Amino acid sequence: MKLFKRIKDNFYGYLYNSSITIKDRTFVLFTICELTALMVSLIAGVVIGDDPINILIGLAVVILGGILLYICVKKDKLNIARIIVALTLVLVLRPVAFFLVGGVVYGGIVMFLLGGYYLVIILDGKFRIVMVLIDTAIYITSIVLTYYYPEYVPESAKSDNLYYSVVQYVIGLAVLTILITFWTRILKKETDSAEEKTKELEELNR
């Protein structure tokens, strides 16, 4: 219990540390949410009876992603982490996952929308524009391929898609709720801090 409490305190301390940029804190929170969402999806896959290979791939992504995030936070290399995550997500994970979860017809649309939103949030400048355009192009190409060549979608991905759709909807809703709640609290803290500074200045000027 003490270890859990210490982890929780450190986590909240990081999220609400005003010396760290909101973008960095959002990246850490969003990445943890995404990894947790993937873990929940894997558990659902085990219950439903998903292909063991899919489960192992997802588990490897969770473990490696968690290790990468931890190292980059410790060494203050979040910019590098963002680039690595974006390239891996767009060029490898999302295209592979598109077919493994059954394409656009058999579920997964909520998670892919959430992944696109993730890219927009964590990246900056021209790199964000380039990565979002590449991601969109790959996604549209994947949709066209599965439309004209449905045999590219594994049969295992077509089963139990209703359950996956429900799980993915709940996960997507939970992640967005957490992010919006976090941003709302940050905005309130910033507003309260600005009001306090204004009051202090007004008292000094009297």
| pLDDT, one tens digit for every residue, the chain (206 residues) | 666 777 777 777 888 887 888 888 888 888 888 888 888 878 877 777 777 777 888 888 889 888 988 898 888 888 888 888 888 888 888 887 777 665 555 556 777 788 888 888 888 889 999 999 998 898 888 888 877 877 766 655 555 566 667 777 788 888 889 888 888 888 888 787 777 777 777 676 66
Cα–Cα separations (whole angstroms), residue 113 to 21, 67, 90, 116, 168 = 25, 25, 13, 5, 11
Non-local (6+) Cβ contacts of 161 within 8 A are: 102, 106, 107
Q: What is the per-residue pLDDT for 157?
A: 52
3-state secondary structure (DSSP) of residue 16:
coil
Q: Helical H runs in the chain?
A: 2-15, 22-48, 52-74, 78-88, 94-100, 109-122, 125-148, 155-158, 161-205
Sign of the four-CA dihedral 81, 134, 61, 116:
positive
Q: What is the per-residue pLDDT for 37?
A: 84
The answer to pTM > 0.85 is no
Cα–Cα separations (whole angstroms), residue 133 to 49, 117, 127, 130, 137 = 35, 13, 10, 5, 6
Q: What is the per-residue pLDDT for 104?
A: 59
Q: What is the per-residue pLDDT for 192?
A: 76
Q: CB atoms < 10 A from the CB of 86, how many?
A: 21
Angle at 106 between CA 104 and CA 107, to 5 degrees: 70
Distance CA 143, CA 150 (A): 10
Q: What is the per-residue pLDDT for 134?
A: 92
Q: What is the per-residue pLDDT for 54?
A: 75
Cβ atoms of 153 and 95 within 8 Å: the answer is no
Number of residues in the chain = 206
Q: What is the per-residue pLDDT for 197?
A: 75
